[in-house]
Structure 1
Amino acid sequence: MRRMSAAIRALTIDAVSRANSGHPGMPLGMADVATVLFTKFLKFCPSNPDWPDRDRFVLSAGHGSMLLYSLLYLTGYPDYTIEELKNFRQLHSKTPGHPEYRIAKGIENTSGPLGQGLATGVGMALAEATLNSRFGDIIDHYTYIIAGDGCLMEGISHEAASFAGHMKLRKIVLLFDDNGISIDGSTSLCSSDDNLKRFESYGWDVQQIDGHDFAAIEGAIANARSSDRPSLIAAKTVIGKFMPNEGSNKTHSGGLTQEEVIAFRKRLEYPLEEFSIPEDILQKWRSLGSLAKYKEWQLAYNNLPTEISLAFERTGAGCSTDFLLSSGKASTGSITSHEKDHTFASGTPYPGGMWNPPEQPQKQNNANGGACDSPELSTSSDQRTLCHTTTSDSNIGKSNLKISTQDLCIEPQEYHLLKYTEIFNELKTRSQAVPSEATRQSSGRVVKFLTSKIPEMLGGSCDLTGSNNVTPEPFKAISADNYNGNYIHYGVREHFMGACMNGMALHGNIIPYGGTFLIFSDYMRPSIRMSALMGLRSIYVMTHDSIGVGEDGPTHQPIEQLDSLNLIPNLYVFRPCDYIEVVESWQAALNITNAPSVIVLSRQKVNFLQREFPEENMCCKGAYLIKKASRKAKVSLLASGSEVSICAEVQSALEKLGYPTDLLSVPCISILKRNSTDQNRKQLIEPGSIPFVVEASSGFMISSMFGVDSEFLFNIKEFGLSAPYDKVYNHFGLTVGAVLKRCLEKLSKST
């Protein structure tokens, strides 16, 4: 075992030395713990890296990435070769400074911002518990997380650990690299926490061991696996073990001289040639893995009742941002050639890559005696109850799922190709037009319908369920006593909610959505950024989107938040103006599987312009002419969300005064940025007309996208005020009368 862990240390030192950059301290300190985990416990299969029931290994302390890369090479993951290790931290390599999701098989998540991996791992474990309750032992695995002192100092670690303890997520094993060293020096410089007592107070099982005692490590992990609570194993380690300055903060990062590398390898009793591993040790590493367990799982999967395997496969179906690149006719069900590459026919698009399901036996007739060929899903709550039965001797393949076959009649590949079209067509048919309501209420109606049809949608809110209008139908909260639900009470934990949603999206078979106020996006921005960086379908519902919040005042009234979210790459921010755009925003968000979406909604009622659904999904254009001028436009009004209804009244007034006016709705700047140029954006505005932008927050993104001068931008340039929302709008000059007056003033100067 010692010589096997030495292989990790040797490869780490060689890679860091060659790159003259990196963080050797943690990999050298945690090599023994990782060796025991991979040789004795971890369920993985390098030849089938996307196996849905694999254990998840999360490196929260992402700076120690050579620990992970070394393990992936040693255990035989095809993407990780000696050449890739030699390219550590080089351009376009599969071995970047911090692990990056999607660039190679074997990386479960992007990590780097400390604490994010820990919280994401909790999300993975929650996904496992939920899916196990629905599908039985076909999903039955552990989540192992390696975290350091920095991870536990970050506030998100408190949010995540508190939640995990409350939910009794017993299949989490947190391996704490307890070396007592940070970049500045000893952790005693800044912290005197007793982490064992801290985690014990959260309801965790806690153990403390010597992180270099192989027997103690094995015993601790075995104990953790038998616990009925999440487990923290504090492994007392020596940072930079075997380096000349072992135990010092100087080993945290930086390279070694050639002389130091030679001395290090001699101490390990390894060949002096860099990147060389003794053949017998490499063979021991390559003999690891769970191929036999994978084959057992595959056999059990093949023997599942057809309705259960179809349900499981269907939850992995989805689309991509190609949905936005199509003609926009989202209701036609057309699909691009690139989208076909993502269909279930070529493998379920699990976030980590394509998992090809085992070949299915011939479909049997359903319980009603007929073939399962109906294109519709039942909305009856009693027909889609997912029941969990706990048994001590449950065997793999004995699924605990109880679900009506009538609920499973859309084939997985059809479900993907339709892009939820049948569901949205039914939603549009059933929709009842209302003259006005808050867009958060519109979204609430949509959410109830969608969750009744798409059981893989798993919602939640940060203690704002009623305000965010994110309640599913039927409503069944997940708890420590019953994971078989469809709603999560996150508590006041915005940062964790975002990371937890990422973990569930990474796990697969779940579409997470979560609600909070737009102002609190600042509390969860790192998690949102990680969603975008990893390309995950996390759907953020953010209500109370402007000064329209009213009485709660400036602390709760977003000003800069909308623009700042629009600056995050690969994040789709939708701000719908009415019920129809709300529906279109949800349709887009569900179809974009390789990027997160934010749906931004109003607190206050707004008047709706549209009464009938257009043939195309207009939100997927980013901006469009929602109400055309009576003749060639002299004025163009641009707005999103609640300000569109204000501009509609301004448009009517300008028309009566002899100024033909176009009204453009701009529901998604993110799509405009991705799919258009300055030239074709400006083509949306009638040549010769004067454009005005109206927004109840900063508004700079819309004005800059369309090249509108700041003097024609009617926005909020300071923090808000506490008062009824209509009085706040009046104070800032965003009423119909005030906007009309300012438009006329500008027009008079332009003629």
Structure 2
Amino acid sequence: MQKIDQACVNTLRFLAADQVEKAKSGHPGFPLGTAPLMYTIWDRFMSYNPADPNWFNRDRFILSPGHGSALLYAMLHLAGYDLPMEELQNFRQWGSKTPGHPEYGLTPGVDVSTGPLGHGFSMGVGFAIAEAMLGAKYNKPDFPIVDHYTFGLTSDGDLMEGVASEAASLAGTLGLGKLIYLYDDNKITIEGSTDIAFTEDVEARFKAYGWQVLRVGDSEDVEAMAEAIKEAKADTLHPSLIIVRTHIGFGSPKQDNASCHGEPLGADALAATKEKAGWPQEMFYVPTEVKEHFAAKLAGCAAAENAWNALMEDYKVVYPELAKELTDRIAGNTLVNLSALEAIFKDTSKNATREASGDIIQVLAAQLPELVGGSADLGPSNKTIMKAGGFFSKLDRTGRNIHFGVREHAMGTVLNGISLHGGFIPFGGTFLVFADFLRPTIRMAALMGIQAIFVLTHDSIALGEDGPTHQPIETTMGLRLIPNVSVIRPADALETAAAWQQACMNKHKPTCLLLSRQKLNVLHAYADVIHENAAKGAYVLSPAKGEARVILIGTGSEVQLALEAQAKLEAEGIGATVVSMPSWDAFDRQSEEYKASVLPEGVVKFAVEAGVPYGWSRYTGSEKNVLGITTFGASAPGGVMMEKYGFTADNLVAKVKEVL
């Protein structure tokens, strides 16, 4: 290793180890072992500009084992991002920009939040898909407007996770040649040697997935790693995994030992490590030549972005319409005409909300070139296929539909990656009950504050004959528990139109659309009130004829049940108001005055939803004031299911009378 390379690598190592030591918390083993890998990528290959961390055509970098965050922060600091030494010294402390795992939107230069192993690896597949899609549409001869790579570090732990296996299989199938990972093959996990739980041939596995697999035997050989990355870049038909034999805790007394994974080295061991490397004992030491090495790169970083900006200006002259469309997509300028969506159903009397969603997707696809998506092999059931969109594949990068295969977990992470890349509104479909496969990815989307739309159909026991394995009981309530997620369960086609509009406008949160298998009446009689109020999350759909003694609150298909019960109660002289509440979170964001106008004090509230009743007491005052279900379902036609479990107008009326 050249002298300057060794100095830079050691600077990264010890800045990371010093962060962990000062914080008395963190993971020093990974940074000590993989600093040469990080350095090789950033020094030899990464195209970036620290003065503009969000420059669109930059290469993306993913630290999939996010517990090694101290190494990434050291790299970003040296590379010139707005991450001063004080932030490194404040590692893992309150209010710092250097949290225990990288957080997108908090730390300049962090392209993705990582921590749950396998997620970063899988989101990188989304990055690569996004780059390929945009390039296929907007690149023209002499105008490589979208042309960048996704690089990353991955680990034994990542590759044990099922989500990474799903995503790796998909990436190989799609031939994502601009995806390049260096694999930290250190053969150590928290519990000891990887041999205790992980003995497969990773090289053979990834070759079987359709990846190019390369090997570097010495993690200290920067030039060998650089040659491997060049070889990876030369293969445009396959994603690349470069296996690098590394040593956790390199150079320390704890090298190749699990004990250096998740705790500071300790003062004595850190001092010994520095002494062995011929490194000063001074904490947070950066040699002058290292500062100068990275400072010398800044002009080139700025020049790369300036050249791209100049290319864009010429592109605007030659291809003005494409340039405007791409610029709008990058900026996230999305406008959805709700009236146009509602107009689809003017002659429709009854349909399932999943069918309504499918019709809406066709209109949105024509309006929004940024809309892309697919399903976990359930497109015909989820109604998620854009009929004029084509299918993205190894042979056709222009398609807007994605065959995710039976890979719900990877589908979610890929959607997150596409969203993070920018220029897209991504959606993915499956049955609502399988949202449990998606839950970690929905949570990560919420944590990062990014847009992803999850189309979750077959939303209750009314799906019928498939039985309890496919009938979601607790799923809806579970999704509502995740902060910063919009959960919308529309009552009919018109509310579904409003839900899709909200989902497309929710730029800083994921949206879950919960849709019915069974057909529902289109509530044309209430079209105006739905148009004006559905986005508020809850609203008075049908007021009582006189004084209301009870407010019936419904979601989804049960809103129509509430309307039937209202008519029966009114016939008995019991004033009843029906409130449709498609979205708890949207309603909770409304003003106190508005919420009081919908759910005034002094009037009994009674909710009906084909799911667990737990949680509804926040609106009804008591879980006794809820018609729900607390057991698993059964296999029978949907109508029979609803009747057998008490979701009938007569039973709802009887339950309300008991409360009154």
TM-score scaled by structure 1? Answer: 0.84
Q: What is the match of residue 275 of structure 1?
A: 284
Q: In the TM superposition, what is the alpha-carbon distance from 1:286 to its structure 2 partner?
A: 2.5
Distance 2:563 2:603 in 1: 17
Q: In the TM superposition, what is the alpha-carbon distance from 1:621 to its structure 2 partner?
A: 1.4
- Please point out which of 136, 152, 160 is paired with 2:167: 160
Is 1:223 the counterpart of 2:231 in the alignment?
yes
Secondary structure at 1:512 match in 2: strand
Is 1:557 the counterpart of 2:560 in the alignment?
no
Please give the per-residue CA displacement for 1:82-106, whole angstroms capped at 9, x wherever unaligned: 0000000001110000000001220
AA matched with 1:207: L
Is 1:424 the counterpart of 2:424 in the alignment?
no
Distance 1:724 1:141 in 2: 52
Secondary structure at 1:174 match in 2: strand
Q: What is the match of residue 368 of structure 1?
A: none
Secondary structure at 1:188 match in 2: helix
**Sequence identity, in percent?**
39
Please give the per-residue CA displacement for 1:169-217, whole angstroms capped at 9, x wherever unaligned: 0001111100000000000011111100000000100012122212211
Q: In the TM superposition, what is the alpha-carbon distance from 1:18 to its structure 2 partner?
A: 0.4
Distance 1:687 1:285 in 2: 64
- Please point out which of 167, 186, 193 is paired with 2:200: 193
Q: What is the match of residue 144 of structure 1?
A: 151
- Please point out which of 447, 453, 457 is paired with 2:361: 447
Please give the per-residue CA displacement for 1:110-157, whole angstroms capped at 9, x wherever unaligned: 000000000000000000000010111211111012111000000001
- Please point out which of 625, 633, 641 is paired with 1:728: 641
Alpha-carbon RMSD: 1.5
CA contact (8 A) 1:119 1:157 kept: yes
Please give the per-residue CA displacement for 1:468-503, whole angstroms capped at 9, x wherever unaligned: 111224131111101101100101100011100000
Is 1:691 the counterpart of 2:605 in the alignment?
yes
Secondary structure at 1:291 match in 2: helix
Gaps of 5+ in 1: 319-415
Aligned 1:383-402 pairs, distance under 5 A:
none
Distance 1:556 1:278 in 2: 61
Secondary structure at 1:138 match in 2: coil
- Please point out which of 176, 184, 187 is paired with 2:183: 176
Q: In the TM superposition, what is the alpha-carbon distance from 1:690 to its structure 2 partner?
A: 2.1
Please give the per-residue CA displacement for 1:559-584, whole angstroms capped at 9, x wherever unaligned: 00000000000000000001111111
Q: In the TM superposition, what is the alpha-carbon distance from 1:691 to its structure 2 partner?
A: 1.6
Secondary structure at 1:107 match in 2: coil
AA matched with 1:39: D
Q: In the TM superposition, what is the alpha-carbon distance from 1:426 to its structure 2 partner?
A: 3.1
Is 1:608 the counterpart of 2:522 in the alignment?
yes
Q: What is the match of residue 467 of structure 1?
A: 381
Q: What is the match of residue 23 of structure 2?
A: 19
Going from structure 1 to structure 2, the CA distance change for 1:686 and 1:20 (only over 3 Å counts) comes to closer
Secondary structure at 1:700 match in 2: coil
Aligned 1:49-198 pairs, distance under 5 A:
49-78=53-82, 80-136=83-139, 137-198=144-205
Aligned 1:328-367 pairs, distance under 5 A:
none
Is 1:303 the counterpart of 2:314 in the alignment?
yes
Q: In the TM superposition, what is the alpha-carbon distance from 1:615 to its structure 2 partner?
A: 8.2
- Please point out which of 570, 573, 596 is paired with 2:487: 573
Is 1:7 the counterpart of 2:25 in the alignment?
no
Q: In the TM superposition, what is the alpha-carbon distance from 1:667 to its structure 2 partner?
A: 0.5
Q: In the TM superposition, what is the alpha-carbon distance from 1:614 to its structure 2 partner?
A: 3.9
Q: In the TM superposition, what is the alpha-carbon distance from 1:676 to its structure 2 partner?
A: 5.4
AA matched with 1:649: E
CA contact (8 A) 1:447 1:470 kept: yes
Q: What is the match of residue 582 of structure 2?
A: 667
Please give the per-residue CA displacement for 1:305-326, whole angstroms capped at 9, x wherever unaligned: 22221011111244xxxxxxxx
Secondary structure at 2:465 match in 1: helix
Distance 2:536 2:424 in 1: 27
Q: In the TM superposition, what is the alpha-carbon distance from 1:610 to its structure 2 partner?
A: 3.5
Please give the per-residue CA displacement for 1:618-657, whole angstroms capped at 9, x wherever unaligned: 2321111100000110111111000000110110010001
Distance 2:340 2:643 in 1: 40
Q: In the TM superposition, what is the alpha-carbon distance from 1:221 to its structure 2 partner?
A: 0.7
AA matched with 1:660: G
CA contact (8 A) 1:682 1:706 kept: no
Distance 2:392 2:613 in 1: 39
Secondary structure at 2:361 match in 1: helix
Secondary structure at 2:238 match in 1: coil
Q: In the TM superposition, what is the alpha-carbon distance from 1:687 to its structure 2 partner?
A: 4.2
Deviates more, 1:679-688 or 1:244-253: 679-688
Please give the per-residue CA displacement for 1:44-65, whole angstroms capped at 9, x wherever unaligned: 1111211111110000000000
Q: What is the match of residue 628 of structure 2?
A: 715
Q: What is the match of residue 245 of structure 1?
A: 254
AA matched with 2:313: N
Q: In the TM superposition, what is the alpha-carbon distance from 1:683 to its structure 2 partner?
A: 4.7
Distance 1:69 1:494 in 2: 32
Gaps of 5+ in 2: none
CA contact (8 A) 1:537 1:596 kept: yes
AA matched with 2:452: S
CA contact (8 A) 1:271 1:278 kept: no
Distance 1:452 1:442 in 2: 16
Q: What is the match of residue 555 of structure 2?
A: 640
Q: What is the match of residue 235 of structure 1?
A: 244
Distance 2:296 2:69 in 1: 23
Is 1:214 the counterpart of 2:222 in the alignment?
yes
CA contact (8 A) 1:452 1:472 kept: no
CA contact (8 A) 1:639 1:695 kept: yes
Distance 1:306 1:448 in 2: 26
Deviates more, 1:614-623 or 1:431-440: 614-623
Distance 1:244 1:69 in 2: 24
Distance 2:239 2:344 in 1: 45
Is 1:743 the counterpart of 2:656 in the alignment?
yes
Secondary structure at 1:541 match in 2: strand
Q: What is the match of residue 38 of structure 2?
A: 34
Going from structure 1 to structure 2, the CA distance change for 1:317 and 1:281 (only over 3 Å counts) comes to closer
Distance 1:120 1:523 in 2: 16
Q: In the TM superposition, what is the alpha-carbon distance from 1:427 to its structure 2 partner?
A: 3.1
CA contact (8 A) 2:357 2:493 kept: yes
AA matched with 1:119: S
Secondary structure at 1:117 match in 2: helix
- Please point out which of 264, 272, 282 is paired with 1:263: 272
Going from structure 1 to structure 2, the CA distance change for 1:710 and 1:430 (only over 3 Å counts) comes to closer
AA matched with 2:112: N
Distance 1:276 1:433 in 2: 72
CA contact (8 A) 2:530 2:541 kept: no
| Aligned length, in residue pairs | 644
AA matched with 2:323: S
Q: What is the match of residue 487 of structure 1?
A: 401
CA contact (8 A) 2:613 2:623 kept: no
Q: In the TM superposition, what is the alpha-carbon distance from 1:682 to its structure 2 partner?
A: 5.2
AA matched with 1:314: D
Q: In the TM superposition, what is the alpha-carbon distance from 1:295 to its structure 2 partner?
A: 2.0
TM-score scaled by structure 2? Answer: 0.95
Distance 1:199 1:436 in 2: 48
AA matched with 2:279: Y
Deviates more, 1:249-258 or 1:4-13: 249-258
Please give the per-residue CA displacement for 1:688-730, whole angstroms capped at 9, x wherever unaligned: 43221111111323x2231431222110010000000111111
Q: What is the match of residue 544 of structure 1?
A: 458
